[in-house]
Structure 1
Amino acid sequence: MKQLIYYIKWFAVFVILVGADQFTKQLAIAGLKGNSGISIIKNVFKLFYLENHGAAFGIFQEQRIPLLIITVLVLIFIGYIFYRVPHETKFIAIKWILVILVAGAVGNMIDRIYNGYVVDFLYFELINFPVFNVADCYVVVGAILAVILIIFYYDDNDLNRILKKQ
């Protein structure tokens, strides 16, 4: 029972994160679709509606089914790793990161399934950075934090405990 409650708590975090992503996308659709965007910091950052029919930076345009298959495979892999991570305080950070990564992947997968495209709306105009969304932020921040933890916090023994059977 204790283990079930443990996983329910993590699932609740996941639901909240996906909910926040989907809520912001609905706000973007309602407030930005059909107009030229809203400048937050003039010539630096704006809210701008875009329908992305591909993946990051617009790659794999119109490749919805392959992107969905890749997402499902990534989710299975992350789920397996999450299950393997020990239930110890030292590993809480990696659990958070895995949940954040999954929330980002699922947030964009929901868009691909229901819309056929991903709703993007955050645009750094100053550097002409590709338009992105909250789920993209989850994936990028999660990936960067994972790399930092793997390089500077977890040692080989910790990683072996996750990846190999004890």
Structure 2
Amino acid sequence: MNYFIIIALLVAIDQVFKYLVESYLKPIGTFPIIKDVFHLTYGQNTGAAFSILQGKQAFLITVTSIVTIALIVYLIKNYKTQNYLLLISLTLVISGALGNLIDRVRLNYVVDFLDFTLINYPIFNTADIFVVSGTTLLAYFMLLASPNNSQKEG
């Protein structure tokens, strides 16, 4: 399986959604999918998760670039011998990081649009879903996965 094709596909999906949000949601602000539960709400985030490090774009771009390059190098060097769960988790994290990095470089902010109004949760985007999912899988791999059950056949 070529993980770089998956990365390209996930980044493209993220960028298409964000383009549609910029084009169609930005002018109206919010659109309830399920009123008072889940809305599509346009947001610009100049920080990281939960809007920490607001306005620190140069720092966020630098750190994201370094971490993403390191993960890509690791993926290239280890894609034949490593665990599928590890490779999928890295693929998801890289995809999400690249999706948000493209926004930061291109727009100087990250486009957010998924809004769970029922629980007053911060607005987020598809790239965030990829990063959180990948990080969760990575944590599972590191803490709980049995190396004997999840090794790739070689």
**TM-score (normalizing by structure 2):** 0.89
- For the 8 Å contact 1:85–1:91, the answer to whether it is kept is no
Q: What is the count of residue pairs matched by the alignment?
A: 149
Equivalent in the alignment of 2:11 = 18
Equivalent in the alignment of 1:97 = 89
Shift >2 Å, 4+ stretches: 83-86
- For the 8 Å contact 1:52–1:119, the answer to whether it is kept is yes
Distance in 2 (CA, whole Å) between partners of 1:33 and 1:51 is 10
Distance in 2 (CA, whole Å) between partners of 1:78 and 1:17 is 16
Equivalent in the alignment of 2:45 = 52
Q: Percent identity?
A: 36
Deviation at 1:62, TM superposition (A): 0.9
Deviation at 1:31, TM superposition (A): 1.6
- 1:152 maps to 2:150: no
How big is each residue's C-alpha offset from its partner over 1:107-155, in whole Å with a ceiling of 9 and x where there is no partner? 0000000100000000010111110000000000110111112212145
- For the 8 Å contact 2:64–2:97, the answer to whether it is kept is yes
Deviation at 1:86, TM superposition (A): 5.5
* Structure 1 spans left out of the alignment, 5+ residues: 1-5, 159-166
Distance in 2 (CA, whole Å) between partners of 1:46 and 1:40 is 5
**TM-score (normalizing by structure 1):** 0.83
Q: Which has the larger radius of gyration?
A: 1
Deviation at 1:73, TM superposition (A): 1.4
Provide the alpha-carbon RMSD of the alignment: 1.9
